[in-house]
Amino acid sequence: MSTTIANTLSEKTKGFSIEESLAFLANEYKGKVVFSTSFGQEDQVIKALISTNELPITIFTLDTGRLFQETYDVFHKTLKKYKKEIKVYFPEATAVEKLLEAKGPNSFYDSVENRKECCFIRKVAPLTKALKGNAIWITGLRAEQSENRHNLDLFEYDAHFDIIKFNPLLKWTLKEVEDYLEKNNVPQNALHKQGFVSIGCAPCTRAIAEGEDIRAGRWWWESSHKECGLHQK
C-alpha cells in the first residue's frame, strides 16, 4: 500500500457515487475491504449504504468495554434492521486487568499519558488486529469534524496501519448526514438528541453546547489531543 495507490484509486473513482466507489473497491480488493463503525451518525449512513446494496464488505466495531448503553442500543437495533454481521473486537482481557490493578478504573483523567495508555489498550490494539491483512479501511470521517480533518483526501494512505483509507463522507455536512438518516429511517444513537455529536466511551464524552467545536465533547478535560490514535488526522 502507498500514497501512489491512494492517488490512483482517487483517479479511477472520479465521478462515481459513493455506492459505486464502494462496489468498485469491494470487487477490486475482494475480501480485504473493511468498514469500522462506532455507530455514530456518519457510520450509520455508510452502514446503511453497505447493507442496502448488499456489498461484500466486512463491518466491524471496537467494543472498548466503556461504551454508553445508548451505543449498545443502536448497535442492537442496527443488527436487527439490516441483518448483516458486525464483527466485534474487544481489548485484550489481561491488558485491561493489569491496567485497572495498577492504576484503577479511571486513570485516564489523571494525565494525557494515562489516557493514551487506556485508548491504546481498548482501541488502538484491537483496531490493529482488525485491520491486519486488509487493503482498504472505510471510515466515516468528515472534513468539518475538526481542523485536523480539513486537509484529508477521499483516499489517504495511512502509514501507521499500512492501509488505504477511504473517507466517502468527507465533504458531507452534518445536515446532509442528518437528512439521509431521517429520510432512510436509519437507527440512531439516542444521545444525538441530547447534544452529543461525536460519541466515544461514556466516561470520556460529554454533550456540547451550540457553537462549540464538534469534538469539544471528547476528552473535554484536556486542552488539546482530541484524537485517540485510531486516526492520525
Q: What is the DSSP string of 89-104?
A: EPPPHHHHHHHHHHH-
Residue nearer to ligand SF4 on the CB measure, 110 or 147: 110
Q: How far is the CB of 110 from ligand SF4 (least distance, A)?
A: 11
Burial label for 145, CB within 10 Å (0-12, 13-18, 19+), is buried
In 3-state terms, what secondary structure has residue 34? strand
Give yes or no for residue 229 binding ligand SF4 (CB under 6 A): no
Of residues 20 through 79, those in contact with ligand SF4 by CB under 6 A are: 64, 66
Give yes or no for residue 123 binding ligand SF4 (CB under 6 A): yes
Q: How far is the CB of 148 from ligand SF4 (least distance, A)?
A: 17
Q: Binding residue for ligand SF4 (CB under 6 A) from 125, 203, 207, 227?
A: 203
Among the residue ranges 51-59, 70-78, 127-135, 196-204, the one whose residues contact ligand SF4 (CB under 6 A): 196-204
As a whole number of angstroms, the distance between CA 70 and CA 199 comes to 10
Alpha-helical runs (H) found in 137-203:
174-183
Determine the Cα angle at 217 with ends 121 and 117, to 5°.
Answer: 15
Give yes or no for residue 215 binding ligand SF4 (CB under 6 A): no
* 204 classed as catalytic: no
Q: Binding residue for ligand SF4 (CB under 6 A) from 43, 48, 82, 122?
A: 122
Determine the Cα angle at 139 with ends 137 and 140, to 5°.
Answer: 170
Query: Which residues are at the interface with ligand SF4 (CB under 6 A)?
Result: 64, 66, 108, 115, 118-119, 122-123, 200-201, 203-204, 228
Catalytically active residues, by annotation: 228
